[in-house]
Amino acid sequence: MGTGKKAKRCSKQIGDEQVSSIGRGLCVLLGISVEDTPRDMEYMVRKILNIRLFEDENGRAWSRSVMDRELEVLCISQFTLQCYLKGNKPDFHSAMPAELAQPFYTSMLEQMRSAYRAELIKDGQFGAYMQVHIQNDGPVTIELESPTGPMDSKQLAKQEKQQQRKEKTRPKPPSESGREKAAARQRVDPSASSGAEGDVSSEREP
């Protein structure tokens, strides 16, 4: 999962030292999940480089990608994007552990550099506490979610449970036999419903 911010400029600092910066382009905040695979990586690389967030030569918006405009990309690993809340406390168990996330992140950067121009893909220091300065252009911020198989199946199971709960609480339509009984009651002689003596069914027999 990640967010792409259309930026006029972006930089990262560790303490007083600036470790990386770009001009116009994309600032990508990347949260790597424990369920992410090389397939997710390929998807994200393709989308980051090809998503059309920029104007064309005639000023028409949403027409060009960073590759089309030969702009820069600054990537920042951000495990906090995998946060979910337990009450008011953030929980990060969905984030990939650092010892696995670092080679995954490095491999993703290599793919981006291979697919585009290596000198235009910038990075910082993985896992470092840093200050990020983003001049968001627009502001435009796009959330990208890779189509992870295990996550999809979990979401599907959750949706199925929700649907089952809805079906249990939804009032059931009368059955066919119930409709027939209701129709039969409507055909009964009014004298029978008022307590008059006599067998209605026998009186109606030919």
Residues 6+ apart with CB under 8 A from 172: none
Positions marked catalytic: 80
Angle at 65 between CA 61 and CA 66, to 5 degrees: 125
